[in-house]
Amino acid sequence: MNETYGPERPAPAGIARRMAAFFYEGMLLFGVVFTGGFVYSAATQQRHALQGQFGLQVFLFCLLGLYFAWFWSHGGQTLAMKAWHLRVLDAQGRPLRPLRAVMRYLLSWLWFLPALLSVYTLGVHGTGPIFGSLAAGVIAYAGLSWLHPRRQFLHDAVCGTELVTQLPRKKP
């Protein structure tokens, strides 16, 4: 990779920084999902965890989509991305438009979809094997980034986006 990076072309983010932001984002999303679940159960008067389970899943899927699409198309950073100095841009180095942000959100489920489909297909039950499958899937998916010239994840390559490192500017 004999490319030059600077203010006009930020350097692609390293895998360690991206994975740190990935796990931090997961912790932050706990609050979003918890609050969303509470609002859904209050609005639908859900009294049992299995009552309205599919509706809750659809609601949370849409809520997470709104969360990510909003932050990615309004500044290019979620809170976790700000903490780890990451920004998502399109292939031309511009901020994402809302439609591309939604497309990136939908394609980002490629992180989990193969593992979840294999667990479902094999009829695996129990949290240990399910989380083990998800962990293996995440590691394999992250490893695929080594096949891309700018080390981007598959969903970024498909939808024409990339994560770049954007360190704060030093004050003179």
pLDDT of residue 104: 96
Mean pLDDT, range 27-49, rounded to an integer? 92
Strand partners, 162: 89
Question: Does the pLDDT value for residue 2 go beyond 60?
Answer: no
Q: Rounded CA gap, 132 and 39, in Å?
A: 31
Neighbours of 31 (CB within 10 A): 9
Element (H, E) at 42: helix 15-44
The Cα–Cα gap between 154 and 147 comes to: 9
| pTM of the entire predicted model | 0.85
151: nearest Cα among 138, 137, 163, 135? 163
**Residue 11: pLDDT band by 50, 70, 90 thresholds?**
confident
Alpha-carbon distance of 144 to 157, in angstroms, equals 11
- Chain-wide mean pLDDT for the chain? 89
- Percent of the chain scoring above 90 in pLDDT: 55
The mean per-residue pLDDT over the stretch 136-145 comes to 88
Task: Report residue 1's pLDDT band, with 50, 70 and 90 as the boundaries.
Answer: very low
Residue 146 has φ and ψ, to the nearest 5°, of -70, -15
Q: How would DSSP label each residue in 91-151?
A: TTSPPPPHHHHHHHHHHHGGGTHHHHHHHHHHT--SHHHHHHHHHHHHHHHHHGGGGSTT-
Average pLDDT over residues 69-92: 95
Phi, psi of 17 (to 5 degrees): -65, -40
pLDDT tens for each residue of 86-134: 999 998 889 999 999 999 999 999 888 888 888 889 888 888 988 898 8
pLDDT at 145: 87
Q: What is the pLDDT of residue 113?
A: 87
**Residue 1 is which amino acid?**
M
